[in-house]
Structures are given as structure tokens and as C-alpha cells.
Amino acid sequence: MSKEKKRKALLSKLSRNLMISVPMMTVVAVAGFNIHTGSNLGLIPSAEAAQGEAEGEAKGEAEGEAKGEAEGHAEGEGEAEGKAEGEAEGEAEGEGVSASLKKAVRRPEGYTPYQGDVAELRALGEKLFNDNSLSSNGLSCATCHTNGMVYLDTFKNQYPHFVAMGTRDFGMDMVHLDEMVQICMVAPMAAEPLEWGSKELAALTEFTRQEQQKYIDKP
């Protein structure tokens, strides 16, 4: 055989070997074929690592989603509980004052106010107007009404007259001035009403009447 034929035969053999070996290398790489035993198919280390990493990521994502759903559910329950509590408190506030206090702020039948010196009553009334010990929450009449503040325009009207808070919270269509004092004692100041016929009630009423006149005369 000539040298040229030998060269071509060798090249042909090499070509056939490459065509066989490349697919086999691919199969071995994918299937992890053990060339020493000819058996025991399994993933090669790099493939095992890839599979482990994929499984770990999938597990982590699943746990993260489960944790997120649990936290979201807990937050949702917390919001629902907070909303329920808020609504319950709102309903309790909306129910207003007890029936006994609603009755206590009304003038008793046959009521006659305390009579005394007007100047003396106004002086005492001013002290009581600024006295936060009358309340259970640290408020005084002056807390809301210093320098004629926080009076509605209806405050200019002659008593008895309609007062929104009196109607809304106490079911009173018309309110006398001393009843208005009692309403403020019970509602904003969270205290017991003053004793009907007492000097203290007459003093606060007289001072409030003076404040009303200042409000009417205010430009």
C-alpha cells in the first residue's frame, strides 16, 4: 500500500473513532456512566451539585412562601382584631352616657336654683371654671373655653335653646344654661354632675352667663 493510501486509511479510522467517542462522552457526562465497572448509572459530581442546588433553592422558595403567607395571615388577623377593637370602642362611645347620667344632667322637677350675690357667684364661678380638680381627666372648663374659644354660634342664643351635644348624647331637645354646665361636667370632663341647687352649680352657671355675654358682644 502506498504512503498516500495509508495516510487516507488512518484519517478515516480517526474520523470514525471521533464520531463514536464524542456521543459516548456526552452520554457519560449526562448519565455518569462508570467506565470502570460498566454499570452503576448516576449523576456525576457536578450534576449532583447542580441538582442539590436546585432542590435547595426550590425548598428555600417554598419555605419562604409559606413563611410569608403565615406572616401575612398573622398580620391580617392583627389588623382584623385591631379593627374589631376600634369598632367596639367606637360603638361604646357612640352609645353615649348612661341612662342615670342622662337623667342627672336634667333639671329636677320643681327645681329652684341657688340664689346669692351675683358678684360673689361670678368670682367663685371663675375659680371653678379654671379648676381641673372638678374633672376625672385633668380637664377644666377653661381647657376648651379660654378667651371665648370653642363656643358654637348657638351660644349666643338665649337659654333654653337647642344644643347639638345635648340632643345627640343626652336626648334633650332644649337645654337650660345650668343643664349645659352639667352636660360639660359629665361629657368632656368625665365627672359627676354638680348637686342641683348647690352654690357651686349656681356660681359656674352665673360665670358662664357672663362668658356668654362677652361672646355675644365680641366683634
Q: Given the C-alpha cell 357651686, which residue does it identify? A: 200
- Summarised one tens digit per residue, pLDDT across range 193-218 is 999 999 999 999 999 999 999 999 98
Backbone angles phi, psi at 161, to 5 degrees: -150, 175
Domain boundary assignment for the chain: 3-94, 102-217
- Summarised one tens digit per residue, pLDDT across range 76-100 is 555 555 454 544 444 444 456 899 9
| Res 147: pLDDT | 78
> Taking the model in full, what pTM does it have?
0.57
Q: What is the mean pLDDT of residues 10-32?
A: 47
Please state which architecture CATH assigns to domain 102-217.
Orthogonal Bundle (1.10)
Q: What is the mean pLDDT of residues 142-151?
A: 87
34, pLDDT greater than 80: no
| Res 50: pLDDT | 47
Q: Which residues contact 219 (CB under 8 A, 6 or more apart)?
A: none
| CA dist 215 → 127, 179, 219 (Å) | 19, 19, 9
DSSP SS3 for 190: coil
Backbone angles phi, psi at 120, to 5 degrees: -65, -40
18, pLDDT greater than 50: no
**69 confidence band (pLDDT: 50, 70, 90):** low
- Summarised one tens digit per residue, pLDDT across range 150-172 is 898 999 999 999 999 999 999 99
* In the chain, alpha helices (H): 3-31, 45-94, 99-104, 118-129, 141-145, 164-170, 177-186, 199-217
| Res 199: pLDDT | 98
> Contact at 8 Å (CB) between 82 and 166?
no
**25 confidence band (pLDDT: 50, 70, 90):** very low
> Contact at 8 Å (CB) between 218 and 148?
yes
